[in-house]
Amino acid sequence: MTATLLALALLLSLAGPLAWRLRRSPAFITGRDGRLSTSTALALAWTVILIWLLLAVLAHGLATGTGTDYFNADPGPLSPLATVYLPLLGGPYTALIGAKAVVGIRLQHGTLAKPAATSPHRPLRELIANDSGRTDLVDLQYVALNAVTMLYVVLSFLSDVQGGLPDLPSQLWALTGAPAGAYLLNKLATRPNPVITAASLTNDTLTVRGGGFAPDARLELNGTPVPTTAPTPDTLTTPLPHPTHPITAVVTSRGLRSDPYTHTPTTHTPAPHPPATHTPATHPPTTHTPATHPPATHPPAEDEHTPPGSRPGW
């Protein structure tokens, strides 16, 4: 039980930082168009699993103290490596190298268009989707069968870490090799559908961007063909004065139709401004308060009619 927990912790220590790094910057497993590459992602996953298996077996042999006897036993902990595990790894890497070669040659000869991704975020759904964003059956079976095989290998090893690499059926490589071959053939046989990645409206002109627009490309808006001006392999433009409703664009090129792309025109309504009101400045009325002086008091003059002793102080 302790060996199993240590092996599981080792797997998390390998896969955790790698997954965090790829989540922040997935450029390592993206293709020429900036989308997640199915063949690159699966080849990387199998590489991580095989490295984990070898490190876990090595750590167990060193931790138990058996050393050379553990690795030289018959059968040894690494005995199935050449007959099962390397063929498991070979299928995804064959698909990776073949897909890169096929895509590069077709791009060079102009028989394939890979429009760039418009969003910086790379959802995992791109592993099973084509350039138009629709689920591809061949990519789906390739990813699903490899994922199930990986899970089978990991659980088999964790169930008996002391036994080394689990002795898997020799035919197990077919679960990765056959889907890899189908994936590669699909790259060779697929005709490049035109792809719409963006649409914008500027000065009464609609610009549709994407890839795979041949010289005979035709543009339809809401099911109606419209004339285009100055078409290029990745841009189509057409006059479109003052649209007020959502527009569904479809491009037909070499007899192949793109997936519909809906563009909703944005209407800019000026914010109402309240009427300016001028309020006259009000000044408080000036009030003049007359100065009040206390009445002057004079002592009564003395005369002969005032009897003595009637004045104060007397």
* Helix, strand, or coil (residue 210): strand
Strand partners, 232: 235
Q: Which residue has the higher pLDDT, 288 or 95?
A: 95
- pTM for the full model? 0.65
Q: How far apart are CA 143 and CA 147, in angstroms?
A: 6
Summarised one tens digit per residue, pLDDT across range 46-61 is 999 999 998 888 887 7
Q: How far apart are CA 19 and CA 173, in angstroms?
A: 25
Mean pLDDT for the chain?
A: 76
Alpha carbon of 257 to those of 133, 191, 209, 226, 306: distances in Å? 14, 11, 15, 15, 135
Q: Give yes or no for residue 304 having a pLDDT over 90.
A: no
Go through the domains of the chain in sequence order and give each one's CATH number: 2-189 (no CATH), 195-263 (2.60.40.10)
Which of 27-31, 42-46, 119-123, 204-208 holds the top average pLDDT? 42-46
Alpha carbon of 289 to those of 244, 283, 286: distances in Å? 71, 18, 10
Summarised one tens digit per residue, pLDDT across range 62-72 is 777 666 666 66
